[in-house]
Amino acid sequence: MKNIIELNYDDDLFVCMDSFLDFHVKFLGNRLLNIKISDVIETIKDLNKDYEGKELTDDDIFINYAKGNEEQFYKEFMEEFQPYKNYKNLKEILKGGWIYELLEYFIDLYDGDNNLKDLCEVNNCKFGTVGYSDWSYYITHKNIEHEFANDLWEGRNWYSVSLIQDNDVVDSIGSCYITDKKYLDDIVEGHFGIDKDDFYVVNNEIGEWFDKPKVEKIEHVEYSFEIID
């Protein structure tokens, strides 16, 4: 039994909620009216840079949202804000520095979350909810499955993985998302360089669910005593 893999729950995963951006998911809490449009915009920019290789500006994000409705948005803005300058079209309004007024007016959270969903979808992202009794809105890239975001919120299928050789832990890695045997094989091979057929799994409450050769962990407890005054 040269290589033994032990899986444990990853308690460090939830130390900092902001760190979830490392997994390309942004949780926004469960109060829609507390969501800041500026946070949404920054998250969309980060996700597009990481996944699409695109450097979107605030203006780009709004233009994508307004596409096909530029004339309507222009008329509504001019009627609502009555700017001191007579802008001729939506692009001129943006050049005038009105981006956040435009966003806050047209992405009106008092109308519900449909506007946020549309804003995210036209900018290669998606907006939704995760969890049940304890739940949250979230934003992620369009290619990330809802199940992944929900498991991240719930802390499900996230583990630390340790490599044991000669009864000693020689290496370990945390924050591993493992839903089945293939995920486990990929992580063990990718991080430890061990082939999928060349390791055993400790038969604990996590390991028992994976169809791999198993070992039982036998703990030996030793005591020593000393005289006290």
19-65 pLDDT tens trace: 466 788 999 999 999 999 999 999 999 999 998 889 999 999 999 99
Residue 191: burial class (beta carbons within 10 Å; 0-12, 13-18, 19+):
middle
Q: What is the CA radius of gyration of the chain?
A: 25
Query: What are φ and ψ of residue 203, in 5° steps?
Result: -85, 65
Question: Is 70 exceeded by the pLDDT of residue 187?
Answer: yes
Pick left, alpha or beta for residue 18 (phi over 0 → left; psi -120 to 50 → alpha; otherwise beta): alpha
Tens-place pLDDT, residues 84-106: 888 999 999 999 999 989 998 99
The DSSP line for 74-143 is HHHHHHHH--SS---SHHHHHHTT-HHHHHHHHS-GGG-SHHHHHHHHTTTEEEEEEESSSEEEEEEETT
